[in-house]
Amino acid sequence: MQDRAPVEPPHPARDVTEHVGYRLKRTAAALRGAMDHTLREHSLTVPQYACLELLDERPGMSNAELARAAFVTRQSMNVVLRGLQEAGLITRPPTTDHGRALPAHLTPAGKDRLDGARRAVYAVERRMIQAVPENRLADLLDDLDRMAAALGG
């Protein structure tokens, strides 16, 4: 058996719970849980809500574009879109004249559902960012963007 040299952590930490990645994951899990809870009241899942938000900003996005923007697979987005379409919240043509992309659009019912859900989700986000001093929020957002970019995201 070979002696293994200790591996130094990337920053001072007593244990795994003090690592940046662990804390980011814990925060993301807490945010997801709070969003799941509040979106249930609007009969939406987090991926469905993300899809509605994206379509409100950029009507006509395809399944592949929505999947990339919502951080899910194309197969998962297909399921999301099918559910939203069956609920009457979006429309997609059965076929398209060019290519295979089927552009999706919010229906009036989808816009109404999004408006109510958005208020609830923004309340969750407001609760979360109230924990950060106002003068540090812009720096925190910049830091998060730089960390994502450093990892290729």
pLDDT, tens digit, 9 for 90 and up, residues 16-46: 888 999 999 999 999 999 999 999 999 999 9
Spatial neighbors of 144 by CB under 8 A, at least 6 apart, are none
CB 103 within 8 A of CB 84: no
pLDDT at 100: 66
Query: Looking at residues 133-151, what average pLDDT do you find?
Result: 96
**Does pLDDT of 94 surpass 90?**
no
Q: Which helix (H) or strand (E) holds 24?
A: helix 20-40
Spatial neighbors of 64 by CB under 8 A, at least 6 apart, are 74, 77, 101
Instruction: Indicate the pairing of strand 90-91 with strand 105-106.
Output: antiparallel
pLDDT at 101: 78
Give domain limits for the chain. Answer: 17-150
Architecture field, domain 17-150: Orthogonal Bundle (1.10)
